[in-house]
Amino acid sequence: MGKITLLHAILLGIAICTLVVGPASADLKVVSTTSVLWEPIQFIGGEHVEAIYIADPTVCPHMQGEIINNRIQLERDFISEADLFVAHNFSVDNPHVMPYIEEFMEANTYGEVEWKTMQNPSMPWAIPDSAHLLADEITAWLLEADPENAAYYEERLKEYHSLIDSVDLTQDESETIAGQKVIVIVWQREAAENWLGLNVVTIYGPEFYQGGRFTVAKLVDDIAAHTSKYEDVRYIIENMQSGEMAKGVEEALNDRGIPAERVVFTNFPKSIPGVDTLADVITYNKELVSPENPAPAETTRTQATPLGQVTCIGAFLVLAVVIRKKT
């Protein structure tokens, strides 16, 4: 037998890896407008579902412009063969994502998009109660599209509910977080007030919200005119996907001797390194306003190495040994 060369070893290693970690044929291919729907779909769908999301989770969909079209082009092959299209059908995707997917499908004669959309499109999702409802609704979509794997999806749903329960507020967290005075962007009011139990002194929002009644400029003017109203404010809560709106609010308070801290909640999985799931989003946000964790939560974490990667590494190590013996 001839000598095994390094090139032969590399080619053989690649072949082994292809067999081990090559893409599995999922029962369902799912296109989601955002990472919010994508994450529980992929978790609950598990080995029977391959899902992608279109909108960049780090940027508000209102401000993505050509980003959406570029992402659609990058995923064109997957989208053209998708079995299921899912959306909120609200401001996060109705005007900015859904039409572009529909136009892409029509322009390429791939067929008409039949959307699965949420019963309550405006429902917040980055709080435990809503995350549970979202998971239930998503599971119903999967059961309808793929009834043969119903038992699998239902079991995965139970796991997902357990995961969300595990990151909800503990008794200690409820006692230390609740009652703190905050100023909060309107998009995070539900989480701040109804979940975390924070005392919302006032809200703020962009110019288009409520006819400009709650802009940052008006809030800063009110802080100057009625400083005592804001004396005990602990946090100014911002929304990551809405851009940096509240820096001026923090400065206005700090300049008047009020040591309020601007913290930035997120709404979307994959918007921050290490914040990959709705459970991560929930954990990240609550830790930002925990008096015991005044600094932003550390988001780097050790990821388990997939079995396929371990097998590939092992394959190359074996081949290296073989080469050494043969040479």
How does pLDDT run across 226-264, given as a tens digit for each residue?
Answer: 999 999 999 999 998 777 889 999 999 999 999 999 999
**pLDDT, position 59:** 84
**pLDDT, position 276:** 97
Task: Indicate the pTM of the whole model.
Answer: 0.80
Cα–Cα distance list, 91 to 61, 141, 179, 322 (Å): 8, 21, 31, 59
Smallest Cα–Cα separation from 53: which of 144, 67, 145, 142? Answer: 67
Average pLDDT over residues 288-293: 86
Smallest Cα–Cα separation from 41: which of 156, 185, 197, 175? Answer: 156
Query: What percentage of the chain exceeds 70 in pLDDT?
Result: 82
Domains of the chain, earliest start first: 9-166 (3.40.50.1980), 171-288 (3.40.50.1980)
Beta bridge partners of 272: 275
Task: Indicate the angle between helix axes 98-107 and 66-74, nearest 10 degrees.
Answer: 50
Window from 5-14, 88-97, 152-161, 186-195 with minimum mean pLDDT: 5-14
Average pLDDT over residues 108-114: 95
**pLDDT, position 81:** 96
CA distance 186 to 183: 9
**pLDDT, position 64:** 85
Smallest Cα–Cα separation from 270: which of 47, 30, 64, 36? Answer: 36
Please give the residue that has the higher pLDDT: either 13 or 280. 280
**pLDDT, position 65:** 78
**pLDDT, position 312:** 36
Average pLDDT over residues 145-158: 98
**Dihedrals phi, psi of 322, to nearest 5 degrees:** -60, -45
**Average pLDDT across the chain, whole number:** 85
Q: What is the pLDDT of residues 294-317, one digit of tens each?
A: 544 433 332 333 333 333 333 333
Do the beta carbons of residue 207 and residue 223 sit within 8 Å? no
